[in-house]
Every structure is written in C-alpha cells, then in structure tokens.
Structure 1
Amino acid sequence: MRYYVLDRGDQLSVRLTESFHKMAAEQGLQLDAESPDIVVSIGGDGTMLHAFHTFINRIPSIAFVGIHTGHLGFYADWKADEIPELITMMSGHSDSGQLMPRIVRYPLVELEIQKKSGTNSYICLNEFTLKGVGGTVVAQVDINDELFEMFRGDGICVSTPSGSTAYNKSLGGAMIHPSIEALQITEIASINNRVFRTMGSALVLPKHHHVDIYSRKEQSLILTIDHINIPTDDLISVRCQVAKQKISFVRYRPFPFWNRVRNAFLD
C-alpha cells in the first residue's frame, strides 16, 4: 500500500503527520508522493480540496481519506485520536482479520472556461462561483444551448452533490445525495423587479445536461474553483456539466451521507 499525506500546515496537523509516517512505516506502508494508492488529508475540508487539486491528474487511480483536526470536516471520516486504528486498517488488517475497504465515488463538475485570451478546462469537487468585482454581474444563462434567463445580481454558484452542503446551502440551495449524478445552479443575490426577472430558485440538472454562462457586458469578475480564485476581465463563457470522472473515497467503516449531514449541521 502506497500513501501520501497532505496536511493543513498548522502545528497540530504537522505533528499528526509526523506521527502518521512513523506508525505507517511500522505497519509496512510505503510513502509515495508521486503515485500513491491513498491520499490522506489531515486538517479540514479545505485541506481535502487542496489534496484533490494537488492530485487532479491522478483522480481515476487514487482514493482519499480525511482526518479532521478541528471542527468536524464534512469530507473527514476520522478524528486525530483514531489515527492508529486507521493505519491498521490501511495496512489491510483489523482485529477481525483481513479487511476489504469500500470505495465510494462522488460526482464532480467539469468546467470549460473560454476567455478572449484562451480556453481552459477545470474540475471542481465542491463548487464553481462567478462573482462581480465592484458591480452587478450581467450574464446570460443557457441550458442545453437554449436561452434560459438573463441574470443580474452578485453572482452564480454551480455545485456538485457533495458541494451542495457547502456554499450552495448558505445560498438556499438543496442538499443532494452524491449518488445522484447532477449539478446545481444557485443564484447569488439576484435582482428581481418589474424590469429584470430571474428564476430565483436553485436548479438541478442531470448528468446529460449542460449549462453555459455568458458574460454580457465588459466586467471584472472573480471565478472561483473550490479554493482557487481566477480574476478575469475578458470572460466569454463558462460551460458547466457533470464530469465523466469521479473522486473516490476509501471507507473502512460505515459513514452514510445523511449521517454526515446530521453530524455537520445538527448534532
């Protein structure tokens, strides 16, 4: 078993990473920064996003597992004091003998961002947001190549099912189970009056649909892909659709999605 650890960088996370390496070596696990089988995130959900984008080119061949060091991370299965148990399971054994972990796969959103300066593709785990800098965003929204609405407001959020519990939730969007291959479009402070109208509610699109967002005036924008900010003043369009590839998480014990939701927001 080859593994790699990416931590948040704070004192506690660094100390836990050092302990992890020591215990992993004792269990025969191999540290491999180039081609790990499992990437361990120690920190919070932001650390998991960083780990995802660090290994974005190897997503089909690796799995992730999270250890939270503060408040409960939505992507984290394990607490700091459970690291010895996790390492034992990663080594392939438990108290009951040989252990076969379960792999769960979550949908991702694929973006094609077209600017006057060129076109780039991205993948996001949580969400993509488009926001204005110092002014109202004016954007045309097409669904499946047909005009849907002309948006005016602070911005637009496009989330994955797992990301639906993050910024999307704070915008009033629905929480979607990750077994549903879909993306969600949620408006950020849209303008609705007798002159300008938008749908005003979140939209859920299935896997075989796509949405195009066109910039409809000269405007400075911030495009955010998970935790990565891209300032631009020459945006032409953004195409959003469910990605063909998925992220894999390794589960050594049951932790259902709705239990995560309850633990994160209610307990």
Structure 2
Amino acid sequence: MKFAITSKGDSVSNTLMLKMRTYLQDFELEYDEDQPDIVISVGGDGTLLYAFHRYQKRLDKTAFVGVHTGHLGFYADWVPEEVEKLVIAIAKTPYQVVEYPILEVIIRHLNGGKEARYLALNESTVKAVEGSLVMDLEIKGQRFETFRGDGLCISTPSGSTAYNKALGGAILHPSIEAIQVAEMASINNRVFRTIGSPLVLPGHHTCMLKPINHVDFQITVDHLTLLHKDVKSIQYRVAQEKIKFARFRPFPFWKRVRDSFVGDK
C-alpha cells in the first residue's frame, strides 16, 4: 500500500507526521505523495480540507483518515495517543471505505469565456465584491426567487456543521445525497422577498444562480477565495465524485455532533 501524510505545520503535528511515516515504512508500506492509496491528515478539519483539494483528482483511488492535534474535528477520528494503534491498523487491517457526497461548482462567464469547475467538501459561498448580492435563484431550471442580501452559502451534508450551521442551516447526516442553500442576511420587506429559510435539495436537483446586475463576485470553495468577473451563472449540484474515508473503527456522526456542540454539563 502507498501512503502520504499531510500536516497542519505546527511542531506537534510535524512530529507525529514524521513518527507515523517512520512506523509505516518500518511495516514496508511505500511513501508516495503523488499516487497514495491512503492519505493521513494530521492537524484538524482544515488540514483535511487541504488534503482533499490536493488529491481531488484521485478521489476514486484515494481514501482519507484524520488525526486531530487540536480541537475535536468532524473529519479526524484519531488522537495523538492512538498513533501506534492507527499505524498497526493501516499496516495490518483491511479498512472499511465510507463514501460521502461532495459539491460541484460550475462558473460560466459572459461572452463565451471558459467555464470553471470546482469541487467542495464543506461549502461554497457567493458574495458581491461591492454592495448587496442580487441573484436569481433557479431550481431544476425554474426560477424560485430573486435573492437580495449579503450572500448565499451552498453546503454539503459533511459541511452542514460548519458555516452553514452558523447561518441557521440544518445539520444533515453526511451520507445523505443532498446540498443545502442558506441565506446570509437576506433583505425582506414590502418590496423584496426571499424564502427566508434554508433549502435542502436532493442529489438530482440543480441550483443555478444568475446575476441580475453586472458586478464582480467573491466566491469561496472551502478555504479557497476566488474573484470572478463577467459571471453568467453559478451552478451547484451534488458531484459525481465522492470522498472516501478509511474507517478502522466506528465513528458515529451524531456522537461527534453532540461532543462538539452539546457536550456534558
């Protein structure tokens, strides 16, 4: 088996990364940063997001597993004290693969400009560079509303516990084939009206955003911030690709939610 390790970059994470690399090579596993079968993320959720984008062209061939060295994360199910146990599991135990849906973002431009395609593990957001965001929102090719406000957040079920939750969106189990649209400070009065509620769209539905005015847009894809001009439309849907997680033991989602947001009093 070929493996690669990504680190948050702090001293604790780097030390663990070197220790795990040495241990796994002692078990005669091959270190390969270009074509790994498994990628170990050492750090937090942000580190795994970085690893996801680095290896997004290998999603059908690569599985991910996370070790968290800071606060409890949703993508990292091992702690530093368990590194030896994880190494033995990787080297000796066939792992279960759990697949979760991700988000496809396609940005099309006016005047026949080249379209851009991105994949997001957590979410994508759209804001106007100046002023309010004004967009027609279409679902399955039918106009649903004209949105006016600070912006929109389109998230995956995996990302529903991140920015989406801060915006009042629902927490979805990451196995659900869906995307969620949440508003950022929508304008609602006697003239302008939006649904005012997050929307959960199934995997076979497409969400299309079409600008009303000619402005530049700041579009995020997970931790990446992009500036797009002359935007004709932004299309969101569940991607054909999925992310694979290597599971060596149960990792209950609702327990993670409880531990992260409720905890013991």
Which interval holds the TM-score relative to the shorter structure?
over 0.9
Q: What's the secondary structure of 1:78's corresponding residue? A: coil
Q: What's the secondary structure of 2:213's corresponding residue? A: coil
One-letter amino acid of the counterpart of residue 219, structure 1: V
Deviation at 1:224, TM superposition (A): 0.2
Q: What's the secondary structure of 1:236's corresponding residue? A: strand
Distance across 1 between alignment mates of 2:13 and 2:236: 35
Q: What's the secondary structure of 2:35's corresponding residue? A: coil
Q: What's the secondary structure of 2:160's corresponding residue? A: helix
Match for residue 266 of structure 1?
262
Match for residue 108 of structure 2?
114
One-letter amino acid of the counterpart of residue 224, structure 2: I
Deviation at 1:115, TM superposition (A): 2.0
Distance across 2 between alignment mates of 1:45 and 1:180: 20
Query: Which digits, 9 at most, give the CA deviation of each residue in 1:171-218, with x for residues without a partner?
Result: 000011122100001111100011000000000001111010011112
- In structure 1, the gaps of 5 or more residues are 93-98
Match for residue 199 of structure 1?
195
Q: Are 2:199 and 1:184 equivalent residues in the alignment?
A: no
Q: Are 2:64 and 1:61 equivalent residues in the alignment?
A: no
Match for residue 167 of structure 1?
163
Match for residue 95 of structure 1?
none
Distance across 2 between alignment mates of 1:224 and 1:41: 22
Distance across 2 between alignment mates of 1:183 and 1:140: 18
Distance across 2 between alignment mates of 1:246 and 1:111: 14
One-letter amino acid of the counterpart of residue 81, structure 2: D
Deviation at 1:133, TM superposition (A): 2.2
Pick one of 144, 150, 154 that aligns with 1:154. Answer: 150
Distance across 2 between alignment mates of 1:79 and 1:258: 19
Q: What's the secondary structure of 1:57's corresponding residue? A: helix
Q: What's the secondary structure of 2:127's corresponding residue? A: strand
One-letter amino acid of the counterpart of residue 109, structure 1: L
Match for residue 98 of structure 2?
104
Query: Which digits, 9 at most, give the CA deviation of each residue in 1:83-135, with x for residues without a partner?
Result: 1110000001xxxxxx3321111001111111234211111100010012231
Deviation at 1:244, TM superposition (A): 1.2
Q: What's the secondary structure of 2:59's corresponding residue? A: helix
Distance across 1 between alignment mates of 2:39 and 2:109: 33
Distance across 2 between alignment mates of 1:103 and 1:261: 21
Match for residue 96 of structure 1?
none
Q: Are 2:7 and 1:7 equivalent residues in the alignment?
A: yes
Distance across 2 between alignment mates of 1:35 and 1:207: 29
Match for residue 137 of structure 1?
133
Deviation at 1:71, TM superposition (A): 0.4
Distance across 1 between alignment mates of 2:2 and 2:60: 15
Distance across 2 between alignment mates of 1:135 and 1:254: 47
One-letter amino acid of the counterpart of residue 103, structure 1: V
Query: Which digits, 9 at most, give the CA deviation of each residue in 1:51-80, with x for residues without a partner?
Result: 000001000111000011100111001011
Whether the aligned pair in 2 keeps the contact of 1:137 and 1:219 (CA below 8 Å) is no
Superposed, 1:22-101 pairs within 5 Å as 22-92=22-92, 99-101=93-95
Match for residue 214 of structure 1?
210
Q: What's the secondary structure of 1:91's corresponding residue? A: helix
Larger displacement relative to structure 2 (223-232 or 21-30): 21-30
Task: Using the aligned pairs only, state the percent identity.
Answer: 48
Q: What's the secondary structure of 1:19's corresponding residue? A: helix
